[in-house]
Amino acid sequence: MRISPSDRLFVLTGAGVSAESGLPTFRGAGGIWRGYRATEVATPEAFHADPLMVWQFYSMRRRKHQEVKPNPAHFALAELERQLGERFFLCTQNVDSLHEQAGSQRVLHMHGRLMMTRCSREACPSKPFEDSAAYETELPKCATCGALLRPHVCWFGEVPYELDRIFAELNRSTILMTVGSSGVVEPAASFVRLARRNGARTIYVGPEAPANHDCFDEVVLAKAGEALPGMVKDWVAA
Q: Which residues are catalytic?
A: 111
Considering the complex, what minimum distance in angstroms separates the CB of residue 94 from ligand OAD? 6
The residue range among 97-105, 115-123, 139-147, 220-228 that interacts with ligand OAD, by the rule CB under 6 A, is: 220-228
Binds ligand OAD by CB under 6 A, chosen from 208, 213, 217, 229: 208
Of 155 and 235, nearer to ligand OAD (C-beta) is 155
Binds ligand OAD by CB under 6 A, chosen from 173, 206, 215, 231: 206
Considering the complex, what minimum distance in angstroms separates the CB of residue 114 from ligand OAD? 10
The residue range among 26-34, 58-66, 79-87, 130-138 that interacts with ligand OAD, by the rule CB under 6 A, is: 26-34
Of 70 and 206, nearer to ligand OAD (C-beta) is 206
Binds ligand OAD by CB under 6 A, chosen from 38, 76, 98, 175: 38
Count residues near ligand OAD (CB under 6 A): 29
Binding mask 117-146 for ligand OAD (x = CB under 6 A): ------------------------------
The residue range among 12-20, 44-52, 76-84, 143-151 that interacts with ligand OAD, by the rule CB under 6 A, is: 12-20
Indicate whether 212 belongs to the interface with ligand OAD (CB under 6 A). no
Question: What gap in Å lies between CA 43 and CA 35, rounded to an integer?
Answer: 16
CB 96 within 8 A of CB 114: yes
CA dihedral 35, 38, 40, 41 (to 10 degrees): 90
Indicate whether 26 belongs to the interface with ligand OAD (CB under 6 A). yes
Binding residues among 55-94 for ligand OAD as defined by CB under 6 A: 93
CA dihedral 75, 109, 174, 195 (to 10 degrees): 130
Question: What gap in Å lies between CA 95 and CA 124, rounded to an integer?
Answer: 23
CB 8 within 8 A of CB 19: no
* Contacts with ligand OAD, residue ranges (CB under 6 A): 14-17, 19-20, 25-28, 31, 38, 42, 93, 111, 154-156, 180-182, 185, 206-208, 210, 223-225
